[in-house]
Chains A and B, each alone.
Chain A
């Protein structure tokens, strides 16, 4: 019976390589993949075959897409690499043979060394600083929830970016800390990132405000670590964004001077 079941699972390798399994089957098969080295090899080979089908479809994307993606990249921190030995718990919703979730052949019990992927000091840019910060913040406790949230967030960010009028802007304070925004006036949406402001007491939060002429600041939400904040429902009269330090949980109105402010004119607001 068990043999039959295994046999049955084996036959899912090709549909799996083609992404042609139902979600529940996909989960079941990926679970099986972790223990079946033969299936892994087969899935990897079949996936390479499937990818050949992808190559032949190559089409030049619209030029504006490049600008949007690169703008987004400037405003988006990276997710740190998982420590390999725990990878399987962290990436179950992506193909394990690609994401490296299964143990390597012949040394499945040996913990693998961490890969030398992080070279932040060689690329000491704002983005690299963000990566380092988020690395320490998230690496210790990377759960599936967080990955799902990160993915959902990528989607929201991508949605703002998909707007034809999406533009990016960054502001720096005197200490080199920065705020980045990608916004679309048409969508009334913005994706905001903070970088370098990690020296916050544990009972304080960074709160983002929308500043409009002759009106009270409107709260756009609280920053959680280095995670970008996605704001929606922005009116075109908005002139700037401001960040203040507030007690945990946030405040209805700012209780302190902004630590950084960014004019929105260059991203199509304030008209």
Chain B
């Protein structure tokens, strides 16, 4: 069954449907959260929070407004970004240190799902962006920086960053269009 249908069943309290949905979305959710949050323990905690929120709030999904997967991943991304920002606010330096210590071991343990083709395509398409488009998009999406922070890091005016983000995403769409 597709995620969209499953989510509707989950909204009706169907735990079996949730198990199936878990199988479909837990990899992307965990992968995305881990990419943004980095710290393994926190990534797991945020992912669990997201998946539980999925169960609790499935009734809020409106199939008329986009796919279930994009709903789920948007929720996951929002939560991951919230976490990484509050962690940064709590102590930027400490966090960086923690990441350096935990990062490699965790990467070693983590098993990558067979998302090979999509992964390869995204990589290729990212490579085709201009450096500024790519950095603007990835610093925001993968590292959880606000566009103001991105502008600061890249020493660019705010307007330029907004445009690069937009162009970057549109270019990605053109490039990825064929493999959806």
Q: Which residues of A contact B (CB under 8 A)?
A: 11-15, 17-22, 44-62, 65-66, 68-70, 72-74, 76-82, 84, 91, 94-95, 97-100, 104, 115, 117-120, 122-123, 125, 127-128, 130-131, 150-151, 154-155, 157-159, 161-162
Contact = CB atoms under 8 A, between A and B. Distances in A.
A162 B77 contact: no
Nearest to B49: A158
A127 B52 contact: no
B165 A54 contact: no
A57 B34 contact: yes
B60 interface: yes
16 contacts: A12-B162, A14-B168, A15-B147, A21-B147, A47-B66, A56-B121, A57-B142, A58-B119, A59-B27, A59-B30, A77-B56, A81-B59, A100-B62, A100-B65, A119-B9, A150-B56
A18 B122 CA distance: 16
A68 B29 CA distance: 15
Interface in B31-55: 31-32, 34-35, 41, 44-49, 51-53, 55
B13 A57 contact: no
B32 A57 contact: yes
Interface string B111-125: 111010011011100
Q: Which of B47, B51, B60, B159 is packed against the most chain A CB atoms within 10 Å?
A: B60
Contact of B12 (A56, A68, A118, A154): A118
A182 B13 CA distance: 19
Interface of B: 8-9, 11-15, 18-19, 22, 26-32, 34-35, 41, 44-49, 51-53, 55-60, 62, 64-67, 69-71, 73-78, 81, 110-113, 115, 118-119, 121-123, 137-138, 140-142, 144-148, 150, 159, 161-163, 165-166, 168-170, 172-173, 176
Nearest to A82: B60
Contacts of B12: 117-120, 122-123, 128, 131
Given A14-B162, A15-B147, A60-B110, A99 B62 contact: yes
A69 B51 contact: yes
A159 to B, nearest CB: 7
A49 B170 contact: yes
A196 B167 CA distance: 54
A73 B115 contact: no
A265 B151 CA distance: 55
A230 to B, nearest CB: 13
Given A49-B172, A61-B26, A131-B13, A54 B45 contact: no
Contact of B56 (A48, A78, A119): A78
A127 B17 CA distance: 13
B48 A54 contact: no
Contacts of B59: 78-82, 117-118
